[in-house]
Amino acid sequence: MQLAKEYKAAKSTITRIKNNKSKILKAASKMHRKRKSFKAGEYPRMEKKLYDWFIKQRSKHVPIGGSSIRVKAKQLFEEMYGSSNRFNASCGWLNGFKKRFGIRLLKVCGEKLSSNPDGVPEFKNRLKKLKAELSLCDDQIYNADESGLFWKTLPDKTYVSSSEKTAPGRKIEKARVTFLACTNASGVHKLKPLVIGKAKKPRSFKNFELPVEYKNSKNAWMTASIFKEWFHHAFVPQVTHFLQKQGLPLKAVLILDNAPCHPGVEGLKSDCGSIFTIFMPPNVTPLIQPMDQNVIRLTKLHYKTNLLRSAFGKANTDEYLKNLNLKDAVCMLAHAWEQLSPVVVEKCWHPLLKDDVFNEEGANCSEDDDIPLSVLRSNTIQQQSTEYAEINNLLESIVPEVTFNTADLVAWVSTDDPIEDLNIVDDVAVLSSEEDEEKIKIAI
């Protein structure tokens, strides 16, 4: 064969290439131009589902970060192969996946979904129609959202004094949990927080009645199964009890974002069907989701103030933090949750429910400040300023050799989610059926 001689290849190689001509051309149109082989990944079926999900998201102009792909890959792996330590969705795997499927210009560290204020009126009108059709009042409308919390960490500056460049031998504690915040629009009903840790049965919980709901997962992340269990065994019973106590009809709606840990609406409905869920479009979530407007931020602020109060006066702060256990943390978190007044919570719903609140000014907040300006009323600002002042005073007492500014304190309170958690709100859940066919649950 002339080709075999020209390229110094075996005749069998040329024959195999010819026989696979259509397959090679199809793959080459999608793959990275520098790729020279067609070696599949270790889990090709999972990667195919992941790539299909990626294409669906990009067709909706939803930015997808590398961290989002890694989180989704882990979720799909567990759904298809069960829980295992065999697959870690490492950065090396991510790079290989991108090359295998020709994905370019992807930010591995995550990218925040571009907000689209034009989509806000449409969803607000949809919710307004739903309220009218079902005769729902603010007591019957709920929102829930998750956040991470490093529950025994002081600001990073406390680990390096002003005279040091590094602090060898001193370990920054990264113990982390996820907590779920959920309230109704009136601010009257704040559900018991759900806390997710790594340990199935923490020793400190023994013979102790928890002030929170508690579940566990491998990475202390929210999962679809945990959320579904919370909805049916915590949300529905608590809402039912509240509505009966208020003398209201047994019907309510839970508004959610499109995180992959939130199952489709079919799985989030009470037995009677009168307590159900709807999803917000992903490109408006940062602008109007009530829990993101101040509820979670203030809860963290209260928690970390409580943490410093408990550490204040201790002879050895390091020793105190080392001995702090999860029971102490959930008690402080429950107390922080109780500190949120109904008035503050109710105002966080204004961008979603009030016609005259949301505007372009609120939509143009920077990525580092997700609180619309219209929500920051004077009493809330004063409350935060007072608490930040107390935090600064406490830190000066605990670590007098270090000076903190407001940016340090805001970052400490707000930054609790590692890279793996970024952009979860950008994702759409992918569920496998018994026939192993993909079903995409897209928010309407």
DSSP states along 39-89: ---S-HHHHHHHHHHHHHHHHTT----HHHHHHHHHHHHHHHH-S-SS---
Phi, psi for residue 140 in degrees, rounded to 5 = -105, 10
Q: Which residues is 430 bridged to in the sheet?
A: 440
> By the 8 A CB rule, do 307 and 167 touch?
no
Is residue 110, in this structure, part of any structural domain at all?
no
Would the pLDDT of 32 be above 80?
Answer: no
Torsions phi, psi of 277, nearest 5? Answer: -125, 155
The answer to whether residue 88 sits within a structural domain is no
In a domain, 416, yes or no: yes
Distance in angstroms (rounded) separating the CA atoms of residues 266 and 273? 10
What's the longest Cα–Cα distance across the chain? 87
pLDDT at 340 exceeding the cut of 50 = yes
The residue among 78, 57, 72, 1 whose CA lies nearest residue 421 is: 72
In three-state secondary structure terms, 328 is: helix
Say which range, 298-307, 316-325, 383-392, has the weakest mean pLDDT: 383-392
- Domain identity same for 190 and 309: yes
Domain-embedded: residue 213: yes
438 occurs within a structural domain: no
Helix (H) or strand (E) holding 195: strand 194-197
**19 is in which domain, residue-wise?**
1-30
Instruction: Looking at the structure, tell me whether residues 176 and 320 fall in a common domain.
Output: yes
Q: Quote the mean pLDDT of the chain.
A: 76
CB 388 within 8 A of CB 411: no
Tell me: pLDDT of 270 over 60: yes
- Residue 278 included in any domain: yes
Question: Cα-Cα-Cα-Cα dihedral of 338, 412, 297, 424, to 10°?
Answer: -120
* 325 within domain boundaries: yes
Q: Per-residue pLDDT averaged across 17-42, rounded?
A: 59
Judge if 163 and 17 occupy the same domain.
no
- φ, ψ (nearest 5 deg) of residue 267: -90, -5
How many residues belong to the chain? 444
Span 147-158, average pLDDT: 78
Say yes or no: 131 and 259 in one domain: yes
In whole angstroms, how far apart are CA 232 and each of 239, 267, 270? Answer: 11, 9, 7
What CATH number is associated with residue 335? 3.30.420.10
20 and 125 both lie in a single domain: no
Within a domain: residue 273? yes
Q: What is the pLDDT of residue 27?
A: 52
Which range scores top for mean pLDDT: 1-15, 72-86, 272-286, 379-393? 272-286
Shared domain for 198 and 322, answered yes or no, is: yes
- Statement to judge: residues 22 and 130 lie in one domain: no
Q: How far apart are CA 97 and CA 84, in angstroms?
A: 20
Number of structural domains found in the chain: 2
pTM exceeding the 0.85 threshold for the entire prediction: no
Average pLDDT over residues 138-152: 95
Cα-based angle 90, 91, 92 (whole degrees, multiple of 5): 90
pLDDT band at residue 436 using 50, 70 and 90 as cut-offs = very low
Cβ distance 158 to 299 under 8 Å?
no
